[in-house]
């Protein structure tokens, strides 16, 4: 109930103070479990995406948000799941909660990069999103937010008002062809890289084939690469198979 009350109250306010544009809203499945995999440029990414969706979406939020009384009430009210970056039992509980959301037919939002981009580029994704998709047998819907970094740069608490924000949604990606290899690390890497490739296409960001860190400038930018077996002359990756929107 708090989720829908906050959404009802916040939607007209955010739409008044920001120029929000949505592309591909019809690509979100109208029912059934699905993972929304997004790029992560600013804290407010987690506000604008639920705003434009007709369905409820549960995000894995940084655990530190739940330790700060000024933000904890909000993230608990909207049903977000605390996720510790370091892994361990707390992260496992968060993943178990994510599975419950998906198994019950809900939408679960996750940022495969694991943290906000330190410099606006798109970084290598962690494979947890691939494992969730295969274990729960659900599609992955890549979602790119643009303009949120300009509205709320790292270190800025309150976003700049009247900034243009674009939310671009891809068709669902079907990875059922990998269902027999749910624990193969090469398969998980390949699926994750396909998701990141689609996010690069949606957002137009420069791709960095390294994990994001809290400090900018720690990795060299380069073209997106899909994981393959270590063969010297491997062919270029194919675009991921997409499920037709309903």
User: In this structure, what CATH number is given to the domain that contains residue 196?
Assistant: 3.40.1130.10
Is residue 101, in this structure, part of any structural domain at all? yes
Q: Are 75 and 182 in contact (CB under 8 A)?
A: no
Per residue in 47-90, pLDDT tens? 898 889 999 999 877 777 777 777 777 777 776 887 765 555 65
pTM of the model as a whole: 0.81
**3 state DSSP class of 129:** helix
CA-nearest of 146, 135, 195, 188 to 171 is: 195
Is residue 16, in this structure, part of any structural domain at all? yes
Q: Tell me the pLDDT band of 43, cut-offs 50, 70 and 90.
A: confident
Phi and psi torsions of 92, nearest 5°: -65, -40
Is residue 229, in this structure, part of any structural domain at all? no
Structural domain count, the chain: 1
Residue 215 has pLDDT above 90, yes or no: no
Domain range for residue 178?
Answer: 2-208
Expressed in angstroms, the distance from the first to the final Cα of the chain is 27
Mean pLDDT of the chain: 84
Q: Tell me the pLDDT band of 188, cut-offs 50, 70 and 90.
A: very high
CA-nearest of 142, 128, 124, 140 to 224 is: 124
Q: Give CA torsion, residues 36, 220, 62, 200, to 10 deg.
A: -10
Is residue 99, in this structure, part of any structural domain at all? yes
Per residue in 120-170, pLDDT tens? 999 999 999 999 999 999 999 999 999 999 999 998 989 999 999 999 999
Is residue 128, in this structure, part of any structural domain at all? yes
Range with lowest mean pLDDT among 32-46, 139-153, 162-176, 209-223: 209-223
């Amino acid at each position: 109930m708090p989720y829908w009350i906050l959404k009802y109250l916040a939607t007209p306010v955010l739409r008044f103070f920001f120029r929000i544009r949505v592309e591909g809203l019809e690509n979100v499945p109208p029912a059934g479990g699905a993972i929304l995999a997004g790029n992560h440029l600013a804290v407010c990414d987690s506000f604008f995406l639920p705003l434009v969706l007709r369905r409820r979406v549960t995000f894995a939020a940084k655990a530190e948000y739940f330790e700060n009384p000024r933000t904890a009430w909000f993230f608990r009210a909207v049903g977000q799941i605390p996720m510790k970056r370091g892994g361990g039992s707390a992260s496992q509980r968060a993943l178990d909660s994510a599975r419950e959301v998906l198994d019950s037919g809900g939408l679960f939002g996750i940022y495969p990069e694991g943290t906000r981009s330190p410099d606006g580029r798109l970084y290598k994704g962690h494979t947890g999103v691939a494992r969730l998709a295969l274990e729960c047998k659900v599609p992955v819907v890549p979602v790119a937010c643009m303009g949120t970094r300009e509205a709320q740069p790292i270190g800025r608490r309150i976003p700049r008002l009247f900034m243009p924000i674009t939310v671009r949604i891809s068709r669902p990606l079907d990875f059922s062809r990998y269902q027999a290899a749910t624990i193969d690390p090469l398969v998980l890497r390949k699926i994750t890289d396909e998701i990141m490739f689609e996010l690069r296409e949606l957002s137009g960001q420069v791709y960095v084939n390294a994990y994001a860190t809290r400090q900018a400038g720690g990795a060299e930018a380069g073209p997106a690469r899909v994981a393959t077996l270590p063969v010297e002359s491997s062919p270029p990756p194919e675009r991921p198979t997409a499920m037709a929107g309903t």
